[in-house]
């Protein structure tokens, strides 16, 4: 055990791939948060009666396994440019973007890859922890479910963060939207023995609550999507507690938790 695992706290928070590596093996429940946009897309898809199979990014073998399982393998719907993102032409109707999923037919199994949220979900599942997908849309429902599912065990909160697209290393960029999503979920988990990292996220969300939509729109990630011509994805992501769906990863597929809670 090291200090990086935040030993002694019942609710812990750390960022990105290293956060999963450090926290997940010691947690009963791990919540992955990728507000713009993977976990928002999971909420939208499950709310339509679909299911989502998260895939590691750019893994052809995983894509083929998903096809054999009967899943529709999506594409991102966006491409990287020097300024951020642009909409990819000629893609399948279903993509990583939540706005592409608002009319998803019930019963659809989507296989969705992303470099942040989906990849982290796959890694977290390998730890043996119960994995939930959280965002602002389902923050209260996910926080309450995590507390029930964890019992006396530890809850790990992992904001995925973004990547620097204008550097060769493409390192982790801690992002405003993930911090706010994490804070909303930590607040919903309630008064447990929370690490300072989780306390800061909850305090940030409480302070920003009344300006949340404006902050999402004008933060770097929101401006990236607006520049790409898809500000509607940011609008969907900012609908706080509109959903009571709790996406739980079961045998590699997100489906609604049977103990669904009301926000």
Q: How confident is the model at residue 67 (pLDDT cuts 50, 70, 90)?
A: very high
227/190: higher pLDDT? 190
pLDDT at residue 132 is higher than 80: yes
- 55, containing H or E segment: strand 51-55
pLDDT of residue 260: 55
Closest C-alpha among 13, 32, 70, 44 to residue 193? 13
pLDDT at residue 2 is higher than 90: no
| Superfamily name and number for 8-252 | ComB-like (3.90.1560.10)
pLDDT of residue 88: 54
Q: What is the pTM of this model?
A: 0.92
pLDDT of residue 83: 53
Q: How confident is the model at residue 227 (pLDDT cuts 50, 70, 90)?
A: confident
pLDDT at residue 78 is higher than 90: no
Q: Where are the domains of the chain?
A: 8-252
What's the chain's Rg over C-alpha atoms? 17
Average pLDDT value for residue range 194-209: 98
- Mean pLDDT for all residues in the chain: 92
Is the alpha carbon torsion for 6, 129, 140, 209 positive or negative?
A: positive
pLDDT in tens, 95-124: 999 999 999 999 999 999 999 999 999 999
């Amino acid at each position: 055990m090291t200090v990086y695992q935040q030993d002694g706290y019942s609710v812990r928070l750390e960022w990105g791939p290293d956060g999963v590596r450090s926290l997940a093996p010691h947690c009963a429940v791990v919540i992955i948060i990728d507000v713009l946009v993977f976990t928002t897309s999971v909420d939208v898809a499950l709310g339509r009666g679909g299911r989502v199979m998260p895939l590691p990014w750019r893994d052809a073998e995983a894509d083929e396994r998903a096809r054999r399982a009967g899943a529709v393998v999506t594409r991102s719907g966006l491409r990287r440019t020097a300024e951020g993102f642009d909409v990819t032409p000629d893609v399948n109707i279903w993509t990583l973007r939540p706005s592409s999923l608002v009319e998803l037919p019930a019963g659809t199994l989507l296989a969705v890859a992303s470099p942040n949220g989906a990849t982290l979900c796959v890694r977290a599942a390998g730890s043996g922890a119960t994995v939930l997908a959280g965002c602002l849309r389902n923050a209260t429902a996910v926080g309450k479910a995590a507390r029930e599912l964890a019992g006396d065990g530890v809850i790990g909160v992992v904001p995925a963060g973004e990547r620097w697209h204008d550097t060769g290393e493409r390192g982790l960029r801690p992002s405003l939207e993930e911090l706010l999503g994490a804070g909303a979920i930590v607040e919903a988990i309630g008064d447990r023995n929370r690490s300072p990292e989780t306390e800061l996220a909850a305090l940030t969300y409480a302070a920003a609550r009344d300006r949340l939509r404006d902050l999402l729109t004008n933060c770097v990630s929101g401006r990236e999507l607006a520049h790409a011509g898809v500000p509607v994805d940011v609008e969907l992501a900012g609908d706080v507690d509109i959903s009571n769906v709790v996406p739980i990863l079961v045998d590699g597929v997100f489906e609604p938790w049977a103990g669904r809670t009301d926000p």
